[in-house]
Amino acid sequence: DIVMTQTPLSLSVTPGQPASISCKSSQSLLHSDGKTYLYWYLHRPGQPPQLLIYEVSNRFSGVPDRFSGSGSGTDFTLKISRVEAEDVGVYYCMQSIQLPITFGQGTRLEIK
Amino acid sequence: QVQLQESGPGLVKPSQTLSLTCTVSGSSISSGRYYWSWIRQPAGKGLEWIGRIHISGNTNYNPSLRSRVTISVDTSKNQFSLRLNSVTAADTAVYYCARVPFTIFGVARGFDPWGQGSQVTVSS
C-alpha cells in the first residue's frame, strides 16, 4: 500500500494568517499519463468530506481561491493564504494511483 | 444536483453481517462513467477506503477487508450496496458512499459527492 504521511497533525491559526500542510507519499504519484493522482479533502464536523483540490493543484468547483495545492512526485503541500473560521476541520490528502486508495492521517485545523 | 444517501441498521451484533445501501439521485449508476465507492471512518481515526464497483460488475476491494466485503449494484433502484461479514467492534465507524470518475486508464479521480454518512455500531 502507498503510505501517505501528513504533517503537522494539528495546527492552530489566527484568522487572516496563512496555513500550510505537507503530505508525503511512500511512492511517486506520477502516472505514465502525465497526471499526478494526489487529492485534498476538508472534513468539517458533522459533514461528509469535501473535495478541495484534485491532481495536486486544481481547485474543485466552488473552492475559494485562498486554497492552493502544489508539489510533485512524492511531496505535496496544501496552502491556505488567509485562514477563515469556516476552514476549521480535518484536512486529508489522498492518492488514487494505486489500489488500495489511501489517505493521510489527517491534519486538524483550529482557529486561535 | 447529484446526491447520495446511505441507509441501513445503525446497530449490528458481533459476528453478524453489516449491510448498507447507497441511493443515488441526479446521476445514473448505469451511465458507466463512474466508480461507486464505500469509505469508512472509525471514531477518532482517519478515512479508510473499503472498495468500489463499476456498472460493468468490476469490483475492487481493500485487501485489508477483501475476505469479508461484497459490493453490489442494483440498477433498477439506482442503488449500490455494501455487505461486511463477521463484524467486530473494530468495524464500528461512520460509513460513507461516494461517486468517483475515472480516467481512460481506469485511475480513480476525486470522490465527489459523498453521502452524509451512516453511523454503524457493532455491539451485542
Residues A63-103: tens digit of each pLDDT: 999 999 999 999 999 999 999 999 999 999 999 999 999 99
Q: What tens digit of pLDDT does each residue of B12-25 get?
A: 999 999 999 999 99
Percent of chain B whose pLDDT exceeds 90: 91
- C-alpha to C-alpha distance for B38 and B42, rounded to whole angstroms: 13
Q: Give pLDDT, residue B31.
A: 86
Res. B67: pLDDT tops 90:
yes
- C-alpha to C-alpha distance for A78 and A24, rounded to whole angstroms: 11
Q: What is the mean pLDDT of residues A36-52?
A: 96
Q: Give pLDDT, residue B117.
A: 97
A53 close to A40: Cβ distance less than 8 angstroms: yes
Report yes or no: A41 at the B interface, CB cutoff 8 Å: yes
Express the helix, strand and coil content of chain A in percent, nearest 5 each: 5, 50, 45
- Give the mean pLDDT of chain A: 97
Q: Which residues of A touch B47 (CB under 8 A)?
A: 41, 43, 49, 92, 94, 103, 106
- Give the mean pLDDT of chain B: 96
- DSSP code at position A36: B
Contacts of B76 (CB under 8 A, 6+ apart): none
- Grid cell at residue B29: 449508476
Q: Which residues of B touch A31 (CB under 8 A)?
A: 105, 107
Q: Give pLDDT, residue B35.
A: 96
